[in-house]
């Protein structure tokens, strides 16, 4: 059982407010319309999904986190997204990238399935921060970085 499978039953009790604060910031950046299609990569228990009144689907590779997620989800790896090219108006990913085993593969997948904009956050203290930043700059036409309280957020235009 991996780390997130193990902590899944307790995740919301210790992360809810922190993750909702990040999700509010991400929502404010993209300001989606109700008809927009959104993918949440590494959606976990769905804390971020709870804020979006859109056509939203989440993917996560932890079966247990998904068991605690009341929204529409699929079990999948960020590195191998089970969707056709250009499927989503927006892709969001909140505090999951530091866990991706292959950051470049995940960024390429996010770029492939998005039509317009992806917003990806990562723990600022993560050793993968620069790897993610470089990969986003290689794959997206424009990348803007924001420093949040705990995460760094990247607003990426395809
Ligand atoms: C810190 S939690 C964040 C969950 C959610 N985004 C939130 O804001 O509460 C990180 C999540 O990323 C998922 N994750 C880690 N690596 C992944 C991967 N390669 N593909 C899909 N999900 C992954 C974990 O299972 C976990 O649910």
Q: What is the pLDDT of residue 25?
A: 98
Task: Give me the mean pLDDT over the 20-49 stretch.
Answer: 97
Q: Is the CB of 132 under 6 A from ligand 1?
A: no
Question: Does the beta carbon of 32 lie inside 6 Å of ligand 1?
Answer: no
pLDDT of residue 26 exceeding 80: yes
Tell me if 135 CB under 6 Å of ligand 1.
no
Q: Is 69 in the pocket of ligand 1 (CB under 6 A)?
A: no
Closest ligand 1 atom to Cα of 48: 8
Distance (Å) from CA 106 to ligand 1 centroid: 12
Distance CA 96, CA 141 (A): 22
Tens of pLDDT, residues 52-75: 999 999 999 999 999 999 999 999
pLDDT > 70 in the chain, percent: 99
Q: Are 26 and 92 in contact (CB under 8 A)?
A: yes
CB 107 near ligand 1, within 6 Å? no
State the pLDDT at residue 64. 98
- Phi, psi torsion values for 63, nearest 5 degrees: -60, -40
pLDDT at residue 122 is higher than 90: yes
Read off the pLDDT band of 94 (50, 70, 90): very high
Give the model confidence (pLDDT) of 139-155 as tens digits.
999 999 999 999 999 99
Please say whether the structural domain 3-157 has been given the CATH code 3.40.50.150. Answer: yes
pLDDT confidence tier of residue 127, bands split at 50, 70 and 90: very high
| Helix residue spans in 31-151 (DSSP H) | 63-67, 103-113, 129-139
Q: Please check the confidence at residue 1 and state whether its pLDDT lies above 80.
A: no
Q: Answer whether residue 34 shows pLDDT above 80.
A: yes
pLDDT, mean over the chain: 97
**Which residues, at least 6 apart from 47, have a Cβ–Cβ distance to it below 8 Å?**
12, 15, 16, 19, 20, 23
100 lines ligand 1 (CB under 6 A): yes
Identify the residue whose C-alpha is closest to ligand 1 atom 13. Answer: 42
Q: Do 65 and 5 contact (CB within 8 A), yes or no?
A: yes
139 C-alpha to center of ligand 1: Å?
21
Q: Which two tokens stand for residue 150?
A: 């705990």
Is 156 a residue whose pLDDT tops 70?
yes
Ligand 1 centre and the CA of 42: distance in Å?
A: 3
- Is the predicted pLDDT of residue 134 greater than 80, yes or no? yes
pTM for the full predicted model: 0.98
Percent of the chain with pLDDT over 90: 98
Query: Coil, helix or strand for 66?
Result: helix
- Rounded to the nearest angstrom, the distance between the alpha carbon of 115 and the centre of ligand 1 is 22
């Amino acid at each position: 059982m991996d780390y997130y499978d193990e902590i899944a039953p307790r995740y919301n009790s210790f992360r809810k407010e922190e993750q909702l604060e990040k999700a509010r910031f991400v929502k404010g950046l993209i300001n989606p319309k109700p008809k927009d299609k959104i993918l949440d990569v590494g959606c976990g228990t769905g804390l971020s999904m709870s804020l979006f009144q859109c056509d939203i689907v989440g993917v996560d590779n932890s079966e247990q986190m998904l068991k605690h997620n009341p929204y529409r989800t699929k079990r999948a790896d960020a590195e191998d997204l089970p969707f056709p090219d250009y499927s989503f108006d927006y892709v969001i990913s909140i505090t999951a990238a530091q866990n991706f085993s292959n950051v470049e593969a995940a960024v390429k997948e996010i770029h492939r399935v998005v039509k317009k904009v992806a917003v990806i956050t990562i723990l600022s203290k993560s050793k993968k921060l620069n790897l993610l930043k470089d990969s986003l700059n290689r794959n997206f036409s424009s990348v803007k970085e924001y420093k949040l309280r705990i995460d760094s957020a990247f607003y990426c235009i395809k």
